[in-house]
Amino acid sequence: MRPQAEVGKDGRGADSEESDFDTWRALQRVVDKKRADILADIVGHPKGAPTVEELDYMNPPLSEDSIRRHLKTLENVGVVRVREFETGNRVRGYPYQFFELTSEARELFDQNGLFPKEAWRRQYDAVEKTGRIEDVESMPRPDH
Protein backbone atom coordinates (compact mmCIF):
# COMPACT_ATOMS: atom_id res chain seq x y z
CA MET A 1 0.00 0.00 0.00
CA ARG A 2 1.39 3.36 -0.97
CA PRO A 3 1.25 6.15 1.64
CA GLN A 4 -0.97 9.11 0.87
CA ALA A 5 1.54 11.70 2.07
CA GLU A 6 2.75 14.11 -0.56
CA VAL A 7 6.26 13.26 -1.58
CA GLY A 8 8.62 15.25 -3.77
CA LYS A 9 11.27 13.93 -6.16
CA ASP A 10 13.81 13.79 -3.33
CA GLY A 11 11.62 11.30 -1.41
CA ARG A 12 10.80 13.84 1.26
CA GLY A 13 7.45 15.24 2.20
CA ALA A 14 6.08 18.29 0.44
CA ASP A 15 7.32 20.45 3.32
CA SER A 16 10.89 19.14 3.13
CA GLU A 17 12.31 22.63 2.75
CA GLU A 18 10.88 23.53 6.17
CA SER A 19 11.73 20.23 7.87
CA ASP A 20 14.23 17.41 7.79
CA PHE A 21 11.41 14.86 8.11
CA ASP A 22 11.79 12.21 5.41
CA THR A 23 8.44 10.50 4.92
CA TRP A 24 9.80 7.42 3.19
CA ARG A 25 12.62 6.82 5.68
CA ALA A 26 10.16 7.24 8.53
CA LEU A 27 7.74 4.72 7.05
CA GLN A 28 10.56 2.26 6.39
CA ARG A 29 11.56 2.38 10.05
CA VAL A 30 8.07 2.10 11.55
CA VAL A 31 7.07 -1.08 9.70
CA ASP A 32 9.44 -3.16 11.84
CA LYS A 33 7.17 -5.16 14.20
CA LYS A 34 9.12 -4.32 17.35
CA ARG A 35 9.25 -0.60 16.54
CA ALA A 36 5.56 -0.66 15.59
CA ASP A 37 4.76 -2.20 18.99
CA ILE A 38 6.78 0.51 20.72
CA LEU A 39 5.02 3.22 18.71
CA ALA A 40 1.63 1.74 19.56
CA ASP A 41 2.53 1.98 23.25
CA ILE A 42 3.68 5.59 22.85
CA VAL A 43 0.40 6.44 21.11
CA GLY A 44 -1.63 4.51 23.67
CA HIS A 45 0.09 5.96 26.73
CA PRO A 46 -2.31 8.19 28.74
CA LYS A 47 0.14 11.09 28.56
CA GLY A 48 1.52 10.23 25.12
CA ALA A 49 5.06 10.15 26.48
CA PRO A 50 6.10 6.92 28.20
CA THR A 51 9.47 6.14 29.74
CA VAL A 52 11.75 3.28 28.75
CA GLU A 53 10.65 1.58 31.98
CA GLU A 54 7.02 1.68 30.88
CA LEU A 55 7.87 0.55 27.36
CA ASP A 56 9.91 -2.31 28.82
CA TYR A 57 6.92 -3.38 30.93
CA MET A 58 4.62 -3.27 27.90
CA ASN A 59 7.10 -5.19 25.71
CA PRO A 60 8.41 -8.07 27.85
CA PRO A 61 10.28 -9.84 25.04
CA LEU A 62 12.50 -6.76 24.54
CA SER A 63 15.33 -5.65 26.80
CA GLU A 64 15.67 -2.02 27.84
CA ASP A 65 18.77 -1.79 25.63
CA SER A 66 16.81 -3.07 22.65
CA ILE A 67 14.01 -0.58 23.34
CA ARG A 68 16.55 2.24 23.56
CA ARG A 69 18.08 1.20 20.21
CA HIS A 70 14.64 1.15 18.56
CA LEU A 71 13.78 4.53 20.07
CA LYS A 72 17.09 5.94 18.77
CA THR A 73 16.27 4.64 15.28
CA LEU A 74 12.83 6.29 15.45
CA GLU A 75 14.36 9.49 16.79
CA ASN A 76 16.93 9.56 13.98
CA VAL A 77 14.18 9.60 11.35
CA GLY A 78 12.09 12.21 13.18
CA VAL A 79 9.26 9.94 14.34
CA VAL A 80 9.99 10.17 18.07
CA ARG A 81 11.47 12.89 20.22
CA VAL A 82 12.80 12.86 23.76
CA ARG A 83 11.40 15.08 26.48
CA GLU A 84 13.65 15.36 29.49
CA PHE A 85 13.53 16.91 32.94
CA GLU A 86 16.41 19.26 33.59
CA THR A 87 18.91 18.09 36.19
CA GLY A 88 17.46 20.20 39.04
CA ASN A 89 13.91 18.98 38.38
CA ARG A 90 14.57 15.24 38.45
CA VAL A 91 13.14 13.03 41.18
CA ARG A 92 15.53 10.45 42.60
CA GLY A 93 14.56 6.92 41.68
CA TYR A 94 12.24 7.98 38.88
CA PRO A 95 12.80 8.33 35.13
CA TYR A 96 13.66 11.70 33.64
CA GLN A 97 13.35 10.90 29.92
CA PHE A 98 10.05 10.47 28.11
CA PHE A 99 9.39 9.63 24.46
CA GLU A 100 6.63 11.07 22.30
CA LEU A 101 5.67 11.22 18.64
CA THR A 102 6.74 14.26 16.68
CA SER A 103 4.01 16.34 15.09
CA GLU A 104 5.31 15.28 11.64
CA ALA A 105 4.93 11.60 12.55
CA ARG A 106 1.43 12.12 13.98
CA GLU A 107 0.40 13.92 10.79
CA LEU A 108 1.87 11.17 8.59
CA PHE A 109 0.18 8.46 10.63
CA ASP A 110 -3.17 10.28 10.56
CA GLN A 111 -2.95 10.74 6.77
CA ASN A 112 -2.36 7.02 6.33
CA GLY A 113 -4.62 5.59 9.03
CA LEU A 114 -1.70 4.34 11.14
CA PHE A 115 -1.61 4.13 14.93
CA PRO A 116 -5.09 5.51 15.72
CA LYS A 117 -4.90 7.00 19.20
CA GLU A 118 -8.26 5.76 20.52
CA ALA A 119 -7.65 2.12 19.58
CA TRP A 120 -4.17 2.01 21.10
CA ARG A 121 -5.33 3.87 24.22
CA ARG A 122 -7.93 1.17 24.85
CA GLN A 123 -5.28 -1.52 24.33
CA TYR A 124 -2.82 0.22 26.67
CA ASP A 125 -5.47 0.74 29.36
CA ALA A 126 -6.44 -2.96 29.22
CA VAL A 127 -3.00 -4.08 30.40
CA GLU A 128 -2.78 -4.77 34.14
CA LYS A 129 0.04 -2.69 35.61
CA THR A 130 2.15 -2.98 38.74
CA GLY A 131 2.06 -0.24 41.38
CA ARG A 132 5.46 1.00 40.21
CA ILE A 133 4.29 1.29 36.59
CA GLU A 134 1.12 3.09 37.70
CA ASP A 135 3.29 5.54 39.70
CA VAL A 136 5.56 6.19 36.72
CA GLU A 137 2.57 6.48 34.40
CA SER A 138 1.02 9.16 36.61
CA MET A 139 4.23 11.23 36.88
CA PRO A 140 4.14 14.69 35.35
CA ARG A 141 6.00 15.04 32.07
CA PRO A 142 8.41 17.86 31.24
CA ASP A 143 7.00 20.84 29.39
CA HIS A 144 7.59 20.89 25.67
- Per-10-residue mean pLDDT, the chain, length 144: 39 48 91 95 97 97 97 96 94 94 95 93 96 96 84
Per residue in 25-51, is it b (16+ CB within 10 Å) or e — as a string? ebbebbeeeebebbbbbbbbbeebbbb
pTM above 0.85, yes or no: no
Residues with Cβ within 8 Å of 79's Cβ and at least 6 positions away in sequence, in order, are 26, 29, 30, 39, 101, 102, 104, 105
pLDDT of the residue at 144? 66
Domains and CATH numbers, the chain: 23-138 (1.10.10.10)
